[in-house]
Amino acid sequence: MSIALVATVLAIWHGSFVRVEMGAFIALIFIWVVWAINRILNESIRGSERTRRRDP
């Protein structure tokens, strides 16, 4: 009985730890994707402003 209880507690703790770890990893990837898209859009805006200045 006690072995089953300890196994259940460890399974729940390990499962929740894995979920927290995966959540943090997914959040990190999401932040990186938002940063990359923001940088690409800013570069695109700067490039279009340069071409507008050249074309009178």
Instruction: Please report the pLDDT score of residue 54 as a whole number.
Output: 65
* DSSP H stretches of helix in 1-56: 2-54
Instruction: Please report the pLDDT score of residue 56 as a whole number.
Output: 58
Cα 8 to chain centroid distance, Å, stands at 31
- pTM beyond 0.85: the answer is no
Q: What is the pLDDT of residues 1-56, one digit of tens each?
A: 788 888 777 777 777 767 778 888 999 999 999 999 999 999 998 887 777 766 55
Q: d(Cα 20, Cα 13) in Å, to the nearest integer?
A: 11
